[in-house]
Structure 1
Amino acid sequence: MNEIKQLPELEACGWDVLTKRTDVDPAGWLVADCSAAKERGSTLATLFAAAPNMSLVLEMIAADADAGVVMIPSGLRLTIDAALIKAGRKAAPEPVRHVTIAGVDR
C-alpha cells in the first residue's frame, strides 16, 4: 500500500467498463460488468470510468493546500489524503518510530 501504482485509464461502454484502448491493446480489458445493478449499471460504469479524473482533481487540491494557495479544513484534508492513499495516488505516511530514553526501539 506504500507504493504508488499507475492504473490504466478506463472508459464506460454502456454496461461494461473497459480499459482505454491503445495501440498495444486495441480491444481493451473488461474491468467491471455493471449489468447486475440493473438500472444503476450505466451510472456506476460512468462513475467508475471517471474515477481517475476525480483522483487528479483531488491531487490538484492537495497540491494547492501544500503550497499554501488555499486553506482547507483539516478534516477535509484528511479525507482527501485518505482517498488518494486508497486509490494508490499518494504514498502512505511512514509510521512514527518511538525511542525510549535508554535508546531502545519499540
Structure 2
Amino acid sequence: MNEITTMPELEACGWFVRTKRTDVDPSGLLVADCSAANDRGSMLATLFAASPNMAEILEIVAADADAGTIMLTSGVRLAIDAALIKAGRKKAPEPVRHFTINGGV
C-alpha cells in the first residue's frame, strides 16, 4: 500500500484515449472519450493536450526548490513529487533501510 505505482502508457485512438495495447490485452482499456458529442469530451481533450506542459512546469518548480531559490511547504513538495513520479518524469526514491548495531557482551 505504501508503494508508488505508475500510470499505464496511454495512446490515442481517434476520439478515445486507451491504455497501450499489448499481446495480452489487444484492445486496451478505455480511459476517456474526448469526442465533441460528449459534454466532457472537449474538456478532457484540452486537459490531455495540456498535460505535457503541466508536467514540465512541475519539473521546473521542483528544480527551483532543489536549488533553494524558492521555498515550498513539505505538503506541496510531496504532491509535486508524487505527480512527477506517477507521470514517469521522475524516478521514485529508493526506500531507506534502518538497522541498529548493538554492542553485545
User: Do both proteins adopt the same fold according to a TM-score greater than 0.5, normalized to the shorter chain?
Assistant: yes
Equivalent residue letter for 1:88: G
What is the TM-score with the length of structure 1 in the denominator?
0.63
What is the TM-score with the length of structure 2 in the denominator?
0.63
Would the aligned equivalents of 2:64 and 2:70 in 1 still touch at CA under 8 Å? yes
Displacement of 1:33 in angstroms is 3.9
**SS, match of residue 40 in structure 2:** helix
Q: Which runs of 5+ in 2 are unaligned?
A: 18-30
Q: Which has the higher contact order (CA 8 A, sep 6+)?
A: 1
Equivalent residue letter for 2:57: V
Would the aligned equivalents of 1:81 and 1:90 in 2 still touch at CA under 8 Å? yes
Aligned length: 82
- Aligned-pair identity in percent equals 69
Counterparts of 1:79-94 in structure 2, within 5 Å, are 79-94=79-94
Give, in whole Å, the separation in 2 of the partners of 1:49 and 1:63: 23
Give, in whole Å, the separation in 1 of the partners of 2:52 and 2:35: 22
Give, in whole Å, the separation in 2 of the partners of 1:38 and 1:51: 20
Match of 1:62 in 2: 62
Give, in whole Å, the separation in 2 of the partners of 1:93 and 1:37: 42
Give, in whole Å, the separation in 2 of the partners of 1:87 and 1:64: 19
Counterparts of 1:29-44 in structure 2, within 5 Å, are 33-35=33-35, 38-44=38-44
The structure in which a higher percent of residues are helix is: 1
